[in-house]
Amino acid sequence: MTQTTPRTSPQIAPSVGFDRHDHSHCIADAVQAAEDLCAAQKLNFTPARRRVLEILLERHRAMGAYDILEILAAEGLGAQPPVAYRALDFLTSHGLAHRIERMNAYTACAHPGEDHVPAFLICRLCKAVAEAETGLEGGRLGDAARATGFVIEKVVVEAEGLCPTCAEAEA
Amino acid sequence: MTQTTPRTSPQIAPSVGFDRHDHSHCIADAVQAAEDLCAAQKLNFTPARRRVLEILLERHRAMGAYDILEILAAEGLGAQPPVAYRALDFLTSHGLAHRIERMNAYTACAHPGEDHVPAFLICRLCKAVAEAETGLEGGRLGDAARATGFVIEKVVVEAEGLCPTCAEAEA
DNA sequence: TTATGGGTTGATATAGTATAACAGTATCTG
DNA sequence: CAGATACTGTTATACTATATCAACCCATAA
């Protein structure tokens, strides 16, 4: 069985930030930043981990673990699910990538090393994803938690809607 | 094969609101509210849909689709995944239940018919879930979206942490 | 040097979550 | 009655994720 199913993208997603920019060296920058971060924290930035981060940066969109795995397999870096999941676990647990819960997908972090509360804007048509900031949800969520005695450790914020391009096309 | 796997709950989850209350008639109230809402909108509140809502209300916790299915099957209401997923689709799309993305789980809505932006407080130990309010994320997320031209249609907010009970036990 | 241990990788198997597709049934309505 | 619509029953399959165990690498200490 040759697996020809189209696993992703009804339409092709544009860039993550909804803006065009010179993408060529922002990959290199991000990889360098990851490298520095790993060196500083004595983390093992192995080829598989590095390559997965590169893939996320290159595609610059949210990708499923199996999309990534397909690429890794084509490059001879491993063909079994754990290969992808292990690398993604590493990247997400060290703040180099994020998991988008709504999509079961992963994306490179736009602000590695900054210890932030990311919020994602997800286009329901083209699946493009932008990473924004929420400022720690200090507001009503924090109040609600405090009122009940709940201790917040991590917050996920994901908004679904239409990116500028698709919103225009829709109109 | 008799399927004895324990699919859920390392520990048993207490109530959703992290507070004790007379739960006996809040189920009846909620079902009645759902009934009214469906009548008003000419929706078909079928036995399966009603029963799934009741199950969510009775257990008063986030449940996986297969947990629900197990109960439906035991009651002779259907044993195939679509049975549960169809009912859950109906309930979630009409605001009677919510999906908790982080957990691949579902929970009855605490404020049906109010068109709100729910925020969930999820205990990572006992898996209890409380539904709070965010007030539409008017803040930084809205700003970010407006700045980029993104049109928000739906927002998911999920916080993971420790509920009062588990936080205390932890200390 | 060898032993030990921690962390990583390779590989197989399986678990858990969700949907496609199609046939059947009920109900409404023209 | 015919046709449309919506729901249910059922089979099959797709997609997402993890458990497990063996092998390997390499740093460090006996």
What is the DSSP annotation of B114-165?
S---EEEEEETTT--EEEEE--TTTTHHHHHHHHHT-EEEEEEEEEEEE-HH
Give the one of B150, B160, B164 whose C-beta lies nearest to A163's C-beta. Answer: B150
Inter-axis angle of helices A24-40 and A47-59, nearest 10:
150
Q: Can you give the pLDDT at residue A137? A: 54
Question: How would DSSP label each residue in A56-82?
Answer: HHHHTS-B-HHHHHHHHHHTTS--SHH
Check B130 against A139: CB less than 8 A apart: no
| Token pair of B117 as six digits | 């932006």
Cα distance between residue B34 and residue B147, in whole Å = 38
Nearest nucleotide to A80 (CA to C1') is C11
Q: What are the pLDDT digits (tens) for B78-115?
A: 999 999 999 999 999 999 999 999 999 999 999 888 88
The answer to whether A86 CB sits below 7 Å from nucleic acid chain C is yes
Instruction: Tell me the three state secondary structure of residue B51.
Output: helix
The encoded tokens of residue A108 equal: 């490179």
Q: Tell me which residue has tokens 């544009």.
A: A14
Position A95 confidence tier, pLDDT thresholds 50, 70, 90: very high
CB of A121 closer than 8 Å to CB of B150: yes
**Cβ B44 to strand D below 7 Å:** yes
Q: State the pLDDT at residue B87.
A: 98
Instruction: Please name every residue paired with B100 in a beta bridge, in sequence order, or none if there are none.
Output: B105
Helix-helix angle B65-74:B81-93, to 10 degrees: 120
- Counted across chains A and B, CB pairs separated by less than 8 A come out at 146
Q: Does B35 touch chain A (CB under 8 A)?
A: no
**Is the model's pLDDT at A44 over the cut of 60?**
yes
**3-state secondary structure (DSSP) of residue A159:** strand
A65 touches strand D (CB under 7 A): yes
| Residue A26 pLDDT | 81
Radius of gyration of chain A from Cα atoms?
17
B136 touches chain A (CB under 8 A): no
Domains of chain A: 19-113 (1.10.10.10), 116-171 (3.30.1490.190)
pLDDT exceeds 60 at position A39: yes
pLDDT score for A139:
66
Cα–Cα nearest to B167, from B135, B125, B117? B125
Q: Which of B150, B151, B155 sits opposite A130 (nearest CB)?
A: B150
> In whole angstroms, what is the distance from residue A144 CA to residue A155 CA?
13
Separation between the CA of B85 and the C1’ of D7 (whole angstroms): 13
Q: How far is CA A51 from CA A32, A61, A75, A82, B17, in A?
A: 13, 15, 10, 15, 44
B85/B93 Cα distance (integer angstroms): 12
Rounded Cα gap, residues B152 and A166, in angstroms: 12
- Distance, CA of B16 to CA of B63 (rounded, Å): 12
Alpha-carbon distance of A54 to A168, in angstroms, equals: 31
Q: Rounded CA gap, A98 and A109, in Å?
A: 6
Range scoring the smallest mean pLDDT among A6-10, A21-25, A28-32, B103-107: A6-10
Any residues with CB less than 8 A from the CB of B94 and at least 6 apart, and which?
A: B37, B38, B41, B43
H-only helix segments in A65-151: 65-74, 81-93, 140-148
Q: Answer yes or no: is A163 a known binding residue.
A: yes
- Which residues in 103-122 of chain B line strand D, with CB less than 7 A from it? none
Task: Scan for tokens 């996920």, then name that residue.
Answer: A156
Mutant choice from B156, B165, B166 vs A, greatest count of A C-beta within 10 A:
B156
**What distance in Å separates the CA atoms of residue B40 and residue B45, rounded to the nearest whole number?**
11
pLDDT given for residue A11 in this prediction: 41
Q: Which chain A residues are closer than 8 Å to B102 by Cβ?
A: 101, 156
CB-nearest to A151 from B134, B149, B162 is B162
Q: What is the pLDDT of residues A97-148, one digit of tens each?
A: 999 999 999 999 998 888 888 999 999 988 899 998 876 555 678 888 898 9
